[in-house]
Amino acid sequence: MAEAENFIQQIIDSDLEAGKVKAVQTRFPPEPNGYLHIGHAKSMFVNFGTAQKYGGKCNLFFDDTNPSKEKTEYVDAIRKDIEWLGYRWEREVYASDFFDVIYDFAERLIEMGKAFVCDLSPDEIRETRGTLTEPGTESPYRNRTPEENLALFRAMKAGKYADGEKCLRAKIDMASPNVNLRDPVIYRILHATHHRTGDKWCIYPMYDYAHPICDYMQGVTHSLCTLEFEDHRPLYDWVGLTLGFSPKPRQIEFARLNLTNLVMSKRYLKKLVEEGSVHGWDDPRMPTLAGLRNRGIPAGAILDFCARAGVTKANSECEISYFEAVVRDYLNLRAPRAMAVVDPLKLTVTNYEGEEEVPFGINQFDEHAGERGIAFGKTLYIERSDFSLDPPPKYYRLKLGGYVRLKSAYIVRADEVVTDAAGNVTEVKCTYFPESRSGSDTSGIKAKGVIHWVNAERAVDAELRQYDHLLRDAEYAGQDFSERIRLDSEHIFHAKAEPALLAAPEGEVFQLMRTGYYKKCTEDDRLVLSEVVSLKDNFNK
């Protein structure tokens, strides 16, 4: 067996060695109340990835115990996102598939004297729970007989009571140092229509009670979840042990993925969408998988990131620049190169006539990528920032009397400029050197800089979009997200691009040389180049 890559795999190895489990079964448990985000990608990486590693199985488990917030729209989006990441689930199951079993187990707990119907209101229950330092107070209804409890519970199920009027509580220990064990509520009354079971139920099980049962019913061996459930594990184990589950699933917790400058809570993401701060759940600035996909970030880059960030037991915040560095590394090896000029300045090659194709390397890291021809001509556009009338020292781009290589083509020397009435440069005139052609340069001329260009006669107009992070850096720890939102985070430029981009497949990601990685798309017949990630590497931690 391959070596354990993290503490979860070490635990599984020892369970396998001890013969406690034969085949690994996990589950990915989203609640269908929003779109998946990059944090969920980490959870998928752990759940699906662990099953894959052991030749085991991973189910898609929809945690739909909370009927009022769940929607079928989200179920569909979640399925699509999982498939996009490249994972396949064994079975698709819903907590609601087990509502009957969960109910039967509750009756069994009542018969065992391990659960009771409580008439305290939700507020009263909270008030009598005690604190971290003080024990809670026992409910006056705690000593009802199993017969009485059973009758009341059945009446709850039959719809005799209003929301909150009664609930079912596990009878554990009001003095437990773990607040989750102080007679937790396991069923509540909620007259709500469920997206799958309709109006069949007016009582719904609480997550902490339902989850171990659902895991057991699916044959889950290792229930992998995030650290906030660590304190709930004793309740998870209590349910399994009390109901005699064998083999009992084992819960293991790992640290959530947090990224700087990203909101990762569904509640906030929903707010951004509803308030129109972004274009939708799939806005390219959103950390949702739909947003990342729309941004042009490949699924493989997200999985690389999860693998490189690792699986640990300590919560921490990962720099967004680290994520971007991983995406850049991924695309650098794969993305074809192209040229576009964001702020065009006309460059006329005075001693050149006609047009010729120069060979342009598609990706130097991909030996199968090969070359394509680009039309070189007399009138070109270069980046305004690649020419300076007043260059600082060590300026290797174009200046009057200076030499620069035009990518994949010739070395040119700038001779004179044309300016408008306000003195702005509107055109640069240059001389090219025929012997300096890329790949067969015998000119002996030294040009330190290489700049990108497009052929002005052939170039097409493109809308170029760049993005800032949706969240500004926090000014102090715990600053509310709403104060950090950057509403003006989308910037639009009008660029001149190679015509080859028009013919490229929709959604293809290019490295626009010296600018960044951009996704090609067409909107209303216009070419749009939308930033995936810049070329600038800000990661230095």
Q: Residue 225 Cβ, how far from ligand ATP at the closest point, in Å?
A: 5
Which residues contact residue 435 at a Cβ distance below 8 angstroms, ignoring those fewer than 6 apart? Answer: 441, 442, 443
Q: Residue 278 Cβ, how far from ligand ATP at the closest point, in Å?
A: 16
Q: Residue 351 Cβ, how far from ligand ATP at the closest point, in Å?
A: 60
**Footprint on residues 201-260 left by ligand ATP (CB under 6 A):** 225-226, 256-257
Q: Where are the beta strands (DSSP E) in 365-515?
A: 371-377, 379-383, 387-388, 398-399, 403-406, 411-419, 425-432, 450-451, 453-455, 460-467, 490-497, 509-512
Q: Choose among ligand ATP, Mg ion, none what residue 226 binds, the Cβ cut-off being 5 to 8 Å by kind.
A: ligand ATP
Nearer to ligand ATP, 200 or 308 (CB): 308
Q: Choose among ligand ATP, Mg ion, none what residue 82 binds, the Cβ cut-off being 5 to 8 Å by kind.
A: none
Other CB atoms within a 10 A radius of the CB of residue 26 amount to: 30
Other CB atoms within a 10 A radius of the CB of residue 56 amount to: 19
3 state DSSP class of 271: helix
3 state DSSP class of 296: coil
> CA 184 to CA 168: how far, in whole Å?
9
> Does 6 contact ligand ATP by CB under 6 A?
no
Contact 514, 535 (CB under 8 A): yes
Nearer to ligand ATP, 26 or 294 (CB): 26
Nearer to ligand ATP, 168 or 225 (CB): 225
Nearer to ligand ATP, 302 or 349 (CB): 302
**Footprint on residues 37-66 left by ligand ATP (CB under 6 A):** 39-40, 42-43
Nearer to ligand ATP, 284 or 287 (CB): 287
3 state DSSP class of 224: strand
Chain residue whose CB lies nearest ligand ATP = 39
The stretch among 24-32, 290-298, 402-410, 445-453 that binds Mg ion (CB under 5 A) is: 24-32
Q: Residue 62 Cβ, how far from Mg ion at the closest point, in Å?
A: 12
Q: Residue 264 Cβ, how far from ligand ATP at the closest point, in Å?
A: 5
Bridge partner list, 466? 491
Residue with tokens 């507020």: 123
Q: Choose among Mg ion, ligand ATP, none what residue 30 binds, the Cβ cut-off being 5 to 8 Å by kind.
A: ligand ATP
Active site residues: 31, 256, 266
> CA 323 to CA 302: how far, in whole Å?
8
Nearer to ligand ATP, 30 or 56 (CB): 30
Nearer to Mg ion, 64 or 498 (CB): 64
* Token pair in block for residue 429: 């005139």
* Token pair in block for residue 361: 């390397």
Q: Choose among ligand ATP, Mg ion, none what residue 316 binds, the Cβ cut-off being 5 to 8 Å by kind.
A: none
> CA 79 to CA 96: how far, in whole Å?
17
C-alpha angle 196-199-200 in degrees, rounded to nearest 5: 85
Q: Residue 70 Cβ, how far from ligand ATP at the closest point, in Å?
A: 10
Q: Residue 296 Cβ, how far from ligand ATP at the closest point, in Å?
A: 22
> CA 170 to CA 335: how far, in whole Å?
57
Q: Choose among ligand ATP, Mg ion, none what residue 257 binds, the Cβ cut-off being 5 to 8 Å by kind.
A: ligand ATP
DSSP string, 19-80: TS-SS-EEEE---SSS--BHHHHHHHHHHHHHHHHTT-EEEEEE----TTT--HHHHHHHHH
Contact map string, positions 110 to 129, toward ligand ATP, x by CB under 6 A: --------------------
Chain residue whose CB lies nearest Mg ion = 31
Q: Which residues bind ligand ATP (CB under 6 A)?
A: 29-31, 39-40, 42-43, 225-226, 256-257, 264-266
Q: Which residues bind Mg ion (CB under 5 A)?
A: 31
